[in-house]
Chain A
Amino acid sequence: MPSLRDVRRHIKSVKNIQQITYAMKMVAAARIKRAQSAILSSRPFAVKMEEMLADLGAELNEDDFKTSGVCDLFEGGFYSDSVGLLLITSDKGLCGSFNANLLKAAVKWLRENREKKIYCLAIGKKGRDFLRRLKNLNLEMEQELIGIFPKISYAHAEMTGEAVTNLYRAKKTAKITVIYNEFKSLIAQRIVCRDLLPLEMHIAGLPAKAVVAGKTSASGEKLRDFNFEPGKNLLLRALLPRYIKAQIYRMLLESQSAELAARMNAMESANKNAGELIDALTLKLNKTRQAMITKELSEIVGGAEALGG
């Protein structure tokens, strides 16, 4: 039987923990609003970017494309036995299964590619530590970005984008895969594992061109007469890296929101559990106290009876 003091101490410690989880929940809730609005305000930029890329692609013909110097970023670029991984995790824990699920997905991916040389870019402390712990793998850390959440800016995306493109070009990796958490809703995140590079053809409206040359002009409305400055090739060369960066920026924002949402949920349930624990402990405390009083009473009565005899 624990003494009253022990139970009281236990209750107090649980209460302290509850206070912390409550505060963390509130902080996450406050931040998530900002993170969501950041996603929203980055959307026009991404949409414009895609529109322009499509316009540019529609104007471009096969030869231009081949000489533009960026066609190595598209499908069918390199064939080699090395691959790249961009792993976006959080810096801090206490966010439920957020990181665990990500790392599980990463393990699966690593297992699929274990024969190959793997180059890694890690964003977030958890992912970096995980990759560092790995052994028996042909793995090389290319870049790590720590402590950028929850204040990410486009500069981070720029840095990562450059690293990714450089890695792709310099090491001639077959592909670069990104694993991150997508923000689906406040209560659900989705693990996304997809290839960042090489780019798919369709983003520049190119397959329509390659398959049926007359298609765009037949539809009529798609045909716009654009002038370009500087030339189309130069534009495409300048635009594509930015497109990649914009994508990475979006992923970072998604991951940030998802992390906050996961943390909010985890803290919410931790808070609830603490409440239940406190209730149970309080009950126990009261029972113990009552039992003690009863015992004392019966002792007094017993003593009085013995004296008064």
Chain B
Amino acid sequence: MENKLLLSIVTPERPLVENKPVDFAVLPAYEGEMGILPGHISFVVQLKEGILRYREGSAEEYFSVHGGFAEIHGGRISVFAETGELAKEIDEERARQSYQKAKDALSMRGEDIDLDSAQAALRRAAVRLKIAELKKRRK
């Protein structure tokens, strides 16, 4: 267990991953992606919408996280995200639709749209699409 990181990902609605030993993890940190290996310095980061992935042996797993925080301390990574999904839970078709919808909303630029939330929706959809793509490529 010495060269493993313990990864936990929790969302308010359920814990996604609990104390899973992994070899390597990549977090979508606030100022860019951040790779974490065992023995990493203690760190607290804010996350943005993006892909969180980890490797365990030869198996690789993807998650989408949308905003949240991660704490790296003493061989443990605790991520708490407001929403998070496993790659296999993502529905590509739905992601594509919401991507289109968000894009339309942005391009219309009506008076009654909330620009921030529309942009956030667009970013979320983009992340989901990307994961869906990755999933396909791996197959």
Q: Does A97 contact B (CB under 8 A)?
A: no
**Which chain A positions have C-beta within 8 A of B64?**
none
State the CA gap A49–B79 with chains docked (Å).
10
- Knowing A48-B71, A51-B71, A239-B69, say if A226 contacts B80 (CB, 8 Å): no
Residues in chain B near residue A55, CB distance under 8 A: 44, 71, 73
**When A49-B80, A158-B82 are in contact, do A38 and B13 touch as well, CB less than 8 Å?**
yes
Q: Does B12 interact with chain A (Cβ within 8 Å)?
A: yes
CB distance from A216 to the nearest CB of B (A): 15
**Which of B12, B44, B78 contacts A56, CB < 8 Å?**
B44
Structural contact, A45 and B12, CB atoms closer than 8 A: yes
Contacts of B29 in A (CB 8 A): 229
Q: Which of B5-58 contact A (CB under 8 A)?
A: 8, 10-15, 18, 29-31, 34, 41-46
Query: CB distance B13 to A234 under 8 Å?
Result: no
| Residue A174 lies at the interface, judged by CB distance under 8 Å to chain B | no
- The residues in A between 44 and 69 inclusive whose CB is less than 8 angstroms from any CB of B are 44-46, 48-49, 51-52, 55-56
Q: Is B98 an interface residue (CB 8 A)?
A: no
Partner of A52, one of B30, B69, B82: B69
Inter-chain contacts of A22 with B (CB < 8 A):
none
Cα separation A246 to B10 with both chains bound (whole Å): 12
A44, A51, A226, A249: residue with the most chain B Cβ atoms closer than 10 Å: A44
With A and B bound together, what is the CA distance between A269 and B14 in angstroms? 34
Majority SS at the chain B contact face: strand
The SS class assigned to the A binding surface is helix
What's the nearest-Cβ distance from chain A to residue B93, in Å? 22
A230 at the interface (CB under 8 A from B): yes
Judge whether A228 and B44 touch: CB under 8 Å.
Answer: yes
- CA A55 – CA B43 in complex, angstroms? 11
Shortest CB-to-CB span from A181 to chain B, Å, is 20
Chain B nearest Cβ from A251, distance in angstroms: 12
What residues of chain A lie closer than 8 Å to B42, measured between beta carbons?
224-227
Q: Which residues does chain A contribute within 8 Å of B46, judged by CB atoms?
A: 229-230, 234-235, 238
Assess the A153–B71 pair: CB atoms within 8 A: no
Nearest CB in chain A to that of B71: its residue: A52
Contact of A249 among B12, B73, B83 (CB under 8 A): B12
For B69, what are the chain A residues with a Cβ–Cβ distance below 8 Å?
52, 235, 238-239, 242
- CB < 8 Å: which of A44, A230, A238 contacts B10? A44
CA distance A234 to B80 in the complex (A): 17
Q: Are B43 and A227 in contact (CB under 8 A)?
A: yes
**A41 in contact with B30 (CB, 8 Å):** no
Inside 8 A of B11's CB, which chain A residues have their CB?
45, 154
Q: Which 6 A-B pairs rank lowest in CB-CB distance, beginning with the nearest?
A: A41-B14, A154-B12, A45-B10, A44-B10, A229-B45, A226-B42
Task: Identify the B interface with A (CB < 8 A).
Answer: 8, 10-15, 18, 29-31, 34, 41-46, 69, 71, 73, 78, 80, 82-83
Q: What are 18 residue pairs bridging A and B, where the CB atoms are less than 8 Å apart in the complex? A: A41-B14, A41-B15, A42-B12, A42-B13, A44-B10, A45-B12, A51-B71, A52-B78, A55-B71, A154-B13, A157-B12, A225-B41, A226-B44, A229-B30, A229-B43, A230-B31, A239-B69, A249-B12
